[in-house]
Structure 1
Amino acid sequence: MRITLKQLAVFEAVARSGQVAKAAEMVNLSSPAASMALSELEKQLDARLFERIGNRLRLNSQGSLLLPLATEALQKVDQIEHAFSPAGAELGGDLNISASSTIGNYLLARSAVAFCQQHTNTLVNVDIDNSQKVINAVLEFRSEMGFIEGQCLDSRLTVEAWHKDRLLVFCHPAHPLAGKVVQPSELNNMPWVMREEGSGTRDCFVNAANTLDMQPQEKFRFSTPDAIKQAVKQGAGLGVLSELTLEKELIRKELAVIHVEGLALERKFYRIHHKSRHFTPIGLAFTEFCQTFLNTEG
C-alpha cells in the first residue's frame, strides 16, 4: 500500500469543503485529478470514506477515523518544511478558523485582514457561525482553531480563555426605562428580542437572568446582532448583545442601555482546538499576532 500526500491532502480538503470541486481548488488540482486521487485512496484502503447527501459529501465512520490521522500526517510534513526553511523565510499558507458571530464580525475580521497585510503570502479564512457550529467545525477538523462566546465541555477539545467581553441590556431610546437603573423584577413580562439557540450570547444572558429569577419572555428570535438591533429600534422589545456590537448605535443615541441591578453579564471569549491536532506555523503566528493586535490574554 502506497498512500500519497496528495491523496491525503485531497481527502482532507473534501472533508472540509464537502465537495470535490471545491477541494480541488484548495489543493490546486483539477476536479478530475482530485476525484481520481480520492478514488485511489478509497481503493487502497478498501473502504468508502464519504456518504453523498444531496450535492455534498459527508464523512462516514471510516472517514471520521481517518481524518485526524491524515491531518496529523499533513501537519508533520508542514513542520518538516518549516524546520528546514531558511531563517527569516516569509510565512505562507492558508489558515482556516471558525468564530462565533460577535468575535468573528467585530474582532477576527479586522485581525485577519491586518495579519494578511503583514504576511502577504498568507490567507486567513474566517467562518462565522454560532458557538455550537464553531465547536463542530473544530471537532470535524474543518477549522484549525475556533473562537467561541461560551464555555465548551467537550473532552476532545482544549479550551483556553482568550479575551473579555460584556453584554448590555438595551432598548429603544423612547422606552420608559431607557438609561435607568432598575431592579430585575421591573423587567418581568417585558418582551425580548433574543439570539438563537446555540448562541453564546443567549446562553450567557439566560443563565445570568435565571439566577435573578428574571424569566425573560422571548417575543422574537434572530441569528444576527444587526437583526436584533433593528427589531429593538422598531420597538419590538428589549435586547441583549455584546457592547462590541452596540458602540455606534449608543453613540448616535439610536439605542439606549438599561442597567439591571445584580445582573452579571461580564464573560470570557475562548479559543478552542482539537487535542489531537497541533498548531501549524501560520496558526501559531496568527495567535501571537492577535495577542498583540487585540490585547488578548494569550
Structure 2
Amino acid sequence: MRITLKQLAIFEAVARSGQVAKAAELVNLSSPAASMALSELEKQLDTRLFERIGNRLRLNSQGSLLLPLATEALQKIEQIEHAFSPAGAELGGNLNVSASSTIGNYLLAKSAVAFCQQHTNTLVNVDIDNTQAVINAVLEFRSEMGFIEGQCLDSRIAVEAWHKDKLLVFCHPAHPLAGQSVAPSALHDMPWVMREEGSGTRDYFVNAANALDIQPQEKFRFSTPDAIKQAVKQGAGLGVLSELTLEKELIRKELAVIQVEGLSLERKFYRIHHKSRNFTPIGLEFIKFNKMFLNTDG
C-alpha cells in the first residue's frame, strides 16, 4: 500500500469543503485529478470514506476515523518544511478558522485581512456560524482553531480565555424604557427579538436573565445581528447583542440602551482547538498577531 500526501491532502480538503470541485481548488488540482486521487485512496484502503447527501459529500464512520490521522500526517510534513526553511523565509500557506457571529464579523474579519496584508503569501479563511457550529468544525478537523462566545464542555476540545465582551439590552429610541435604568420586573411580559438556538449570545443572556426571573418572551428569532437590529428598529421588541455590533446605531441614535439593575452581561470570548491537533506555524503566528492587533488575552 502506497498512500501519497496528495491523496491525503485531497481527502482532507473534501472533508472540509464537502465537494470535490471545491477541494480541487484548495489544493490547486483539476477536478478530474482530485476525483481520481480520492478514488485511488478509497481503493487502496478498500473502503468508502464519504457518503453523498444531495450535492455534498459527508464523512462516514471510516472517513471520520481517517481524518485526524490524515491531518496529523499533513501537519508533520508542514512542520518539517518549516523547520528546514531558510532563516527569515516568508511565512506562507492557508489557515482555516471558524468563529461565532460577533467575533467573526466584528473582530476576526479585520484581523484576518490585516494579517494577510502583512504576510502576503498567506490566506486566512474565516468561516462564520454560531457557537455550536464552530465547535463542530474544530471537532471534525475542518478548522485548526475556533473562536466562540458560548461555553464548550466537550472533553476533546481545549478551551482558552481569549477576549472580553459586554452584551447590551437595547430598544427602539421611542420605547418607553429607552435610556432608562430599570428593575428586572420592568421587563416582564416584554417581547424580545432573539438569536437562534446554539448562539452563545442567546445562551449567555437567557441564563443571566432567568437568574433574575426576567424570563424573556421570544417573539422573533433571527440568526444574524443585523436582522435583529432591523427588527428592533421596526418596534418588534427588545434585543440583546454585543456592544461591538451596536456602536454605529447607538452613535446615530437609531437604537437606545436599557440598563437593567443587577443584570451583569460581561462575558468572555474563547479560543478553542482539538487537543489532538497541534498548531501549524501559520496558526501560531496568527495567534501572536491577534494578541497585538486585537489586544487579546492569549
- Asked whether the two chains share a fold, i.e. TM above 0.5, the reply is yes
Distance in 2, matches of 1:140 and 1:185, equals: 43
Mapping for residues 144-223 of structure 1, pairs under 5 Å: 144-223=144-223
Query: Is it true that 1:84 corresponds to 2:65 in the alignment?
Result: no
Q: Give identity over the alignment, percent.
A: 89
Query: Which secondary structure does the structure 1 equivalent of 2:41 belong to?
Result: helix
Query: Which secondary structure does the structure 1 equivalent of 2:174 belong to?
Result: coil
Distance in 1, matches of 2:171 and 2:227, equals: 14
Partner of residue 294, structure 1: 294
Distance in 2, matches of 1:56 and 1:242, equals: 34
4+ runs deviating over 6 angstroms: none
TM-score by length of 1: 0.99
CA deviation string 1:186-242 (max 9, x = no partner): 100010000000000000100000100101111110111011111111111100000
Q: Which runs of 5+ in 2 are unaligned?
A: none
Query: Which secondary structure does the structure 2 equivalent of 1:14 belong to?
Result: helix
Partner of residue 277, structure 1: 277
Mapping for residues 1-298 of structure 1, pairs under 5 Å: 1-298=1-298
CA deviation string 1:3-60 (max 9, x = no partner): 1101100000000011111111111111111111111111111111001111111000
* Cα distance, 1:107 vs structure 2: 0.1
CA deviation string 1:135-155 (max 9, x = no partner): 111111111110000110001
Aligned CA RMSD, in angstroms, stands at: 0.5
Task: In structure 2, give the amino acid aligned to 1:296.
Answer: T
Task: In structure 1, give the amino acid aligned to 2:74.
Answer: L
Query: Which secondary structure does the structure 1 equivalent of 2:87 belong to?
Result: coil
* Cα distance, 1:156 vs structure 2: 0.8
* Cα distance, 1:88 vs structure 2: 0.3
Of 63-72 and 39-48, deviating more is: 39-48
Task: In structure 2, give the amino acid aligned to 1:281.
Answer: P
Aligned length: 298
TM-score by length of 2: 0.99
